[in-house]
Structures are given as C-alpha cells and as structure tokens.
C-alpha cells in the first residue's frame, strides 16, 4: 500500500529523514500539503507569499504531483490518506505549540481509521527536548546547552535522492493560491534557491562570518533564515558542510541558538505569549500608540533604528544586530511591551518563526532565558557608529539621509529638514527604564 508524506516545515526533497523513512515502508508515496487557515490567517503576508512560492517549487520538483488541499488537517489528512488507500502518514515532527496540538488530533483521527502515524526527524539537527541536564531538566542558559548539544551530536544528512520513491498521482488537488500582495522584495523561494544561497556563502562568506556577521552594512551572513523557517534546507545539511574555521564555529553557534530557542519553547510553550521569567509580569509599560506607530514606520529620529525598521518593510528581513537595536529601543526607550514588537515582526518577517522571534524578543527585553541583563541598554547612536562605521547601511534604507556623508549619519549635527528629530532623549529614557526595572 502507498504511504502519505505530509509536508509542513520541510518543503524540500534533499536530506529529508521522514521521506527516507516513508520510502522504507513503500515505494509509492503521496505528497500532501494542507492549507490550514489556523496557520495562514494570522501569518504575515510576506511569509505566506514565500510559502506559496516554496509550494510551487516543491510541486515542480515532484513533477506536478503535490496534493494540495485546504481545511482542518484532522479531516483532510485522513481523507487524503483514505483516497489512496494509504497505510501510514509520515511527517517530520513539528515542535511548535500549535503544531503539537494539531498533530495529536490528526494522529488520533488516523488511528480511528487504522492508519499509522510516523514521525521521523524534525526541523532541527537535534529534536527539541532531547538535550537536557543530567537530571533531565531543560537548560535555561545558552552556553551549557551549546556544550551539551555539541556533545549530543546529530546524524549525517539523510540521503534522499530524486529516484528514491514514485510519487503517487493525487486523486485531486487545488492549485497553489495566488500569493497575497506584498510590497517587500522577497528572496527566491524553494530548495534550489536555498542550496544556491548556501553554496555561494560557502565560497564567499564563511571564512569571514565571525567578523562580518555583526555588520549590517556588509552582506556577511547567510540570509538562510526564511529557508530554514520553511525547511527548504535542513540545518544538518549546513552543519555537515562546516569545517573548523573561526567562521564555521561561529555559524554553528548561531544555528545552535535557533535550536536552543526551539528547545525552550518546546518545554515552555506558554512563553510564546508570556514572560519566561515571571518576575517581569509586574513591569510597567507605557500605552502610547503613536510612539509605537513611529517605531513601526521607521520615523524615530534615530538613524540606525529607522534604517532597520525600513529594511524590515522593504525586504521582510532585518539584520540580526539591528533587530537587537530596534527591539531594545522599543522596550527600553519607548517602554512598550516586547510582545507588541514581536507581533509587528511576525507580521512583516519572511523568516518569522515563533520560537526564534518570541524568545529573542524576550532576550532583549531581559525577561527571557539567558537574557541580556536588564541594565544593558543599547545606545542606538553608538551601536550605529560601531556596527555601521561608514553609515552605508543607514543611507541605504533612509533616503532622507543620503546627503550626509560617512558616520556623521549617526550623530546628525545638521539634520535634514525632512528627517524627524529624535522622538525621545535616550539618556533620559534609559534612566526611566532602569528605575522601572529596579522596582521589580
Ligand atoms: P545567519 O547569521 O546567517 O545565521 C544562520 C542561521 O542561524 C539563521 O538563518 C538562523 O536560523 C540562525 N540564527 C542566527 N542567529 C540567531 C538567533 N539569534 N536566534 C535564533 N536563530 C538564529 N530569526 C528567525 O529565524 N526568525 C525570527 O522570527 C527571528 N526573530 C528575531 C527577533 C529579534 C528581536 C532578534 C534579536 C532576532 C531574531 N531572529 C529571528 C534571529 C536572527 O536575527 C535571524 O535568524 C538572522 O538575522 C537571520 O539572518 P541570517 O539567515 O542571515 O543569519
């Protein structure tokens, strides 16, 4: 009997552990994707548009044999499996809070129909929950997690070449929906584009990653985050290609941050919404919609903050250093709750990922695991001078400042008329933030 491979966050054919496992059970595999409104409705337009692009590419790779259906997965997966007389449904484990609930109900519905549910692999090198302290407790601090994660290790990439299985002709299928209108310029979707980006980076960026990764004015990072988000490439594929240079070590550590946050969310799913550190529940925030809107629009009058917020709108992506700076500015200079910023990010990021986003926000706000100490408050001006030393990044995204040469773009002794004055005084807001943290 055929089996079903239900794709979710694993939109690729290479290094696909669940596909390999499915192929051991049957040569005949039905490729299925379920458009689930519970996930699509709250998803931001850039992420949805990128997802649809990835589905188009996957369908091409499958010779047009991707079965696409829309509806409640607990109904649709059973229906699809029954329509081809499948004996089992294979998946990569989904570790997010919604995915876990959904999968429990799908597995139950399948069991009622005598269809097996088989989970193999996950979107991570080490599946969340597997790395624990010797006493079984989860790690709360990155460095020991990183050590234990490295010691735990991961398998070699799964060898899932194109002729591994015969893709079953779907009895029916929807067309991939037209992507929502998006103003941001998005990366090329799909597995091929992911691997091309990775190989270009290996040729031309990996050696200097450790020194360049903090510089938003350079293209010093992989820009693989949207591909990792949708599983167009598996982190194991990347880890297997990394040697022992300082650049490779540094990238391995960043990939581990992704796994750490997934592990935290796996153990504490409520931290998608709530403070990881409950001592912060009493934090006093301002209710200032206008200030929040200025931050969203990139009109704060702090050039590095504005450049970041506008890069987000222009590309659906923002450099990691600048994500930290703008997040710190929202929470510590504008005294707004982290979850408002996290929600704005999720709406616009093409790589928006619940674990990485919410827990990085909490890290910046000081209430997360292994958080930046609350008294470490980024100074947006010196951050700009340090990490965008010639001002190129700011000029790229803030056209009003293009006439200002060099690093003076961060201090702006002469502010162009069409660029706003700083909306707050950083030195003052810093003291306010420290006072409020002090009260906790
Ligand atoms: P590279 O530097 O090339 O790193 C390679 C990969 O490692 C990334 O693609 C990513 O998967 C992972 N990685 C790197 N840094 C981190 C990190 N700090 N935390 C977790 N994973 C990391 N990343 C997301 O993928 N989705 C998000 O929604 C997201 N939200 C963030 C929100 C805030 C406030 C902050 C400070 C960071 C956030 N990050 C998020 C982490 C990081 O900014 C992005 O992963 C990174 O900028 C993506 O660019 P890249 O692929 O070129 O990264």
Q: What share of the chain is helix, strand, coil (3-state, %, to 5)?
A: 50, 5, 40
* Average pLDDT over all residues of the chain: 96
Q: How confident is the model at residue 351 (pLDDT cuts 50, 70, 90)?
A: very high
Q: Where are the domains of the chain?
A: 3-122, 124-157+192-267, 278-439
Q: How confident is the model at residue 279 (pLDDT cuts 50, 70, 90)?
A: very high
Which residue's CA is the nearest one to ligand 1's atom 46?
Answer: 320
Task: Cite the annotated binding site for FAD by residue number.
Answer: 209, 221-225, 351-353
Q: How confident is the model at residue 205 (pLDDT cuts 50, 70, 90)?
A: confident
Q: What is the predicted pLDDT for the residue at 229?
A: 98
> Could you tell me the distance, in angstroms and rounded to a whole number, from the CA of residue 81 to the centre of ligand 1?
36
Strands 3-6 and 28-35: parallel
Q: For ligand 1, is residue 361 a contact (CB within 6 Å)?
A: yes
Which residue's CA is the nearest one to ligand 1's atom 7?
Answer: 255
Mean pLDDT within 345-373: 93
**Contact assessment for residue 228 and residue 235, using Cβ atoms and an 8 Å cutoff:** yes
The residue assigned the tokens 């689930």 is 36
Q: For ligand 1, is residue 381 a contact (CB within 6 Å)?
A: no
Task: State how far the Cα of 266 lies from the Cα of 160, in Å rounded to an integer.
Answer: 28
On whether the 3-122 domain is CATH 3.40.50.620, my answer is: yes
**Per-residue pLDDT tens over the stretch 381-440:** 999 999 999 999 999 999 999 999 999 999 999 999 999 999 999 999 999 999 999 998
364 to 300, 367, 400, 434: CA distances (angstroms): 19, 8, 29, 14
**Per-residue pLDDT tens over the stretch 143-161:** 999 999 999 999 999 999 8
> Could you tell me the distance, in angstroms and rounded to a whole number, from the CA of residue 72 to the centre of ligand 1?
31
Q: Is the pLDDT of residue 128 over 90?
A: yes
Q: What is the predicted pLDDT for the residue at 362?
A: 96
Mean pLDDT within 80-104: 97
Q: What is the CATH number of domain 278-439?
A: 1.10.579.10
Q: What is the predicted pLDDT for the residue at 41?
A: 83
Task: State how far the Cα of 13 lies from the Cα of 169, in Å rounded to an integer.
Answer: 17
Residues of the chain above pLDDT 70, percent: 100
Mean pLDDT within 6-26: 98
Strand partners, 33: 68
Q: How confident is the model at residue 374 (pLDDT cuts 50, 70, 90)?
A: confident
Q: For ligand 1, is residue 103 a contact (CB within 6 Å)?
A: no
Number of H-type helices and E-type strands within the chain: 20, 6
Q: For ligand 1, is residue 329 a contact (CB within 6 Å)?
A: no
**Contact assessment for residue 146 and residue 260, using Cβ atoms and an 8 Å cutoff:** yes
Mean pLDDT within 114-126: 98
> Could you tell me the distance, in angstroms and rounded to a whole number, from the CA of residue 355 to the centre of ligand 1?
10
Q: How confident is the model at residue 163 (pLDDT cuts 50, 70, 90)?
A: confident
DSSP 243: -
On whether the 124-157+192-267 domain is CATH 3.40.50.2300, my answer is: no
Task: State how far the Cα of 257 lies from the Cα of 124, in Å rounded to an integer.
Answer: 11
**Contact assessment for residue 14 and residue 156, using Cβ atoms and an 8 Å cutoff:** no
Task: State how far the Cα of 245 lies from the Cα of 55, in Å rounded to an integer.
Answer: 35
Task: State how far the Cα of 339 lies from the Cα of 167, in Å rounded to an integer.
Answer: 43
Q: How confident is the model at residue 29 (pLDDT cuts 50, 70, 90)?
A: very high
Closest approach atom of ligand 1 to CA 327:
34
Question: Is this prediction's pTM over 0.80?
Answer: yes
Q: Is the pLDDT of residue 318 over 90?
A: yes
User: Would you list the DSSP string of 327-357?
Assistant: HHIIIIIS---HHHHHHHHHHH-TT--HHHH
Q: Is the pLDDT of residue 85 over 90?
A: yes
Task: State how far the Cα of 110 lies from the Cα of 256, in Å rounded to an integer.
Answer: 34
Q: For ligand 1, is residue 323 a contact (CB within 6 Å)?
A: yes
Q: How confident is the model at residue 106 (pLDDT cuts 50, 70, 90)?
A: very high
Q: For ligand 1, is residue 320 a contact (CB within 6 Å)?
A: yes
Q: For ligand 1, is residue 357 a contact (CB within 6 Å)?
A: yes
């Amino acid at each position: 009997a055929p089996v079903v491979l239900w794709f979710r966050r694993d939109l690729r054919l290479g290094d696909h552990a669940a596909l390999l496992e499915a192929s051991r059970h049957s040569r005949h595999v039905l490729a299925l994707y379920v458009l689930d409104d519970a996930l699509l409705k709250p998803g931001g337009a850039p992420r949805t548009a990128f997802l649809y692009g990835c589905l188009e590419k996957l369908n091409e790779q499958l010779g047009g044999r991707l079965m696409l259906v829309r509806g409640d997965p607990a109904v649709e997966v059973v229906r699809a499996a029954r329509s081809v007389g499948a004996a089992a449904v294979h998946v990569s484990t989904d570790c997010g809070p919604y995915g876990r609930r959904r999968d429990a109900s799908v597995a139950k519905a399948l069991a009622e129909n005598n269809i097996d549910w088989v989970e193999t692999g996950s979107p991570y090198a080490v599946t969340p929950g597997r790395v624990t302290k010797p006493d079984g407790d989860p790690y709360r601090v990155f460095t020991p997690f990183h050590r234990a994660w490295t010691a735990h290790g991961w398998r070699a990439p799964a060898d899932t070449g194109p002729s591994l299985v015969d893709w079953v002709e779907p009895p029916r299928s929807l067309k991939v929906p037209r992507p929502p209108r998006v103003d941001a310029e998005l990366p090329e979707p799909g597995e091929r584009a992911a691997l091309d980006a990775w190989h270009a980076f290996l040729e031309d960026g990996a050696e200097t990653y450790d020194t360049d990764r903090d510089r938003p004015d350079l293209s010093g990072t992989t820009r693989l985050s949207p591909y990792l988000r949708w599983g167009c490439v598996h982190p194991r594929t990347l880890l297997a290609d990394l040697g022992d240079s300082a650049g490779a070590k540094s990238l391995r550590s960043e990939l581990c941050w992704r796994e750490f946050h997934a592990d935290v969310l796996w153990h504490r799913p409520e931290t998608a919404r709530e403070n990881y550190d409950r001592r912060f529940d009493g934090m006093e925030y301002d209710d200032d919609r206008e200030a929040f809107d200025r931050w969203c629009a990139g009109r704060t009058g702090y050039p590095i903050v504005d450049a970041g917020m506008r890069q987000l709108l222009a590309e659906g992506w923002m450099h990691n250093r600048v994500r930290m700076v703008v997040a710190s500015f929202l929470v510590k200079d504008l005294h707004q709750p982290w979850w408002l910023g996290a929600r704005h990010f999720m709406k616009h990021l093409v790589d928006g990922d619940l674990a990485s986003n919410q827990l990085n926000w909490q890290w910046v706000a000081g209430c997360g695991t292994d958080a930046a100490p609350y008294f470490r408050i980024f100074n947006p001006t010196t951050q700009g001078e340090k990490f965008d030393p010639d001002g190129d990044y700011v000029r790229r995204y803030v056209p009003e400042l293009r006439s200002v040469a060099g690093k003076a773009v961060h201090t702006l002794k002469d502010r162009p008329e069409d660029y706003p004055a700083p909306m707050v005084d950083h030195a003052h807001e810093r003291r306010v933030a420290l006072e409020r943290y002090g009260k906790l």
